[in-house]
Amino acid sequence: MTKVAAILFFARFWHHVASISSCGKSAHRIFAPFDIALSHSRKYNSIGCATAMQKRGRNWRKSCLEMEPLDYGSGMDQNAMMETDELIAVDMSDRAVPGSSISKRKAHEFNNANPRGIAHRAFSVFIFNNKNELLVTQRALSKITFPGVWTNSCCSHPLQGMSPDEVDDGVKSFPDFPGVKHAAVRKLRHELGIQSSEVPHSCFRFITKFHYWAADTITYGREAPWGEHEIDYVLFAKCEGDGPTLNINPDEVEDYKFVTAEELKKMMDDSSLLWSPWFIGIMENGGFEWWSDLDEALKAAGSRYCNRDIIFFDPPKEHMGSYNNPSHGRDTGVLTG
């Protein structure tokens, strides 16, 4: 076993042990030396990933994952992730469409031929601290879709071809959905620098799903070439103290803050701030209620808020492009098996 391999092995082992502890900072402090070890191994692997990307083009992501899953995003800009991320196309019942391989770019392209893009699986994470304050974030101004908007703690997609596996059975995996939670762990680290020792896989509670679409007309006007069309899993997680340690990725996040429900309502009433259409839809369709009864929402089993529903909502009128018209139904942009 080489020196680098040994460092990586022990770092992975101790991170696994830490991730099964409670959602708090104590485990992070205990295993801090191993975070350092992992950072050294990650630096080595990032070089390997960059080399793989140069040599193998689209095959680089698989090579990176074989070396170190936590390196997702190393050496990539927004355009690279648009091309290489392979999303999970879903039908109206949130079943993965067999044989469908869609890039992030293809799924998010809006035009006359695809007025709502392609429906795909996503997740929205809500992180709370011990004061029940919610972490809200502003998307980086460099983001291709919905730049500069405020939203929940982290929003992204489970991907195909990842390890650990992020592809759930949208029906049979209820209510655990381990794949979506693996994706949440990956993206919290990528966007906010949150270690899995502070918000482990076991910390997430699935609430419900939303089916929505929205054109990014605020950024690009009524001919917007981009938009969202998702079946979105809502995940809640609560942490000890003032919240998890953050190490913000400026390519993903412009700003952030922890807020109370009343502070959030005031922010949402501020016309100078932009908000993601999915976050508005979630908060208008149960978000504030679940937040006000957080202990119930966070129950490991038997929460009255956890359900199999897929709640549909259209976007506000300002998020409808010139190619969207009343004849389009809920199944517009949804693939079938």
- For 158, which DSSP code? -
Pull the structure tokens for residue 127.
């992180």
φ/ψ region of 57 (left if φ > 0, alpha if ψ in -120 to 50, else beta) reads left
* Catalytic residue from among 68, 198, 228, 230: 230
The number of angstroms, rounded, from the C-alpha of 243 to the middle of its chain's C-alpha atoms is 18
Distances (CA, A) of 71 to 58, 68, 92, 191, 329: 16, 6, 33, 12, 39
Cα 215 to Cα 116: distance, rounded to the nearest angstrom? 7
* Catalytic residue from among 49, 154, 155, 306: 155
Residue 230 among the catalytic residues: yes
Cα 206 to Cα 280: distance, rounded to the nearest angstrom? 19
Residue 34, CA atoms < 13 Å, CB-side half-sphere: 21
Give the 3-state secondary structure of 251-310.
CCEEEEEEECHHHHHHHHCCCCCCECHHHHHHHHHHHHHHHHCHHHHCCCCCCCCCCCCE
Non-local (6+) Cβ contacts of 139 within 8 A are 146, 147, 148, 149, 150, 151, 252, 253, 254, 276
First-to-last alpha carbon distance for the chain, in angstroms, is 46
Cα 20 to Cα 199: distance, rounded to the nearest angstrom? 10
With contact defined as beta carbons under 8 Å apart, do 71 and 64 qualify? yes
Packed helices 3-19 and 32-56: angle between N→C axes, nearest 10 degrees = 120
- The CB-based long-range contact list for 295-302 (8 Å cut-off, 24+ gap) reads 297/205, 297/207, 297/236, 298/205, 298/236, 298/238, 299/205, 300/205
Q: Which residues are marked as active site?
A: 155, 230
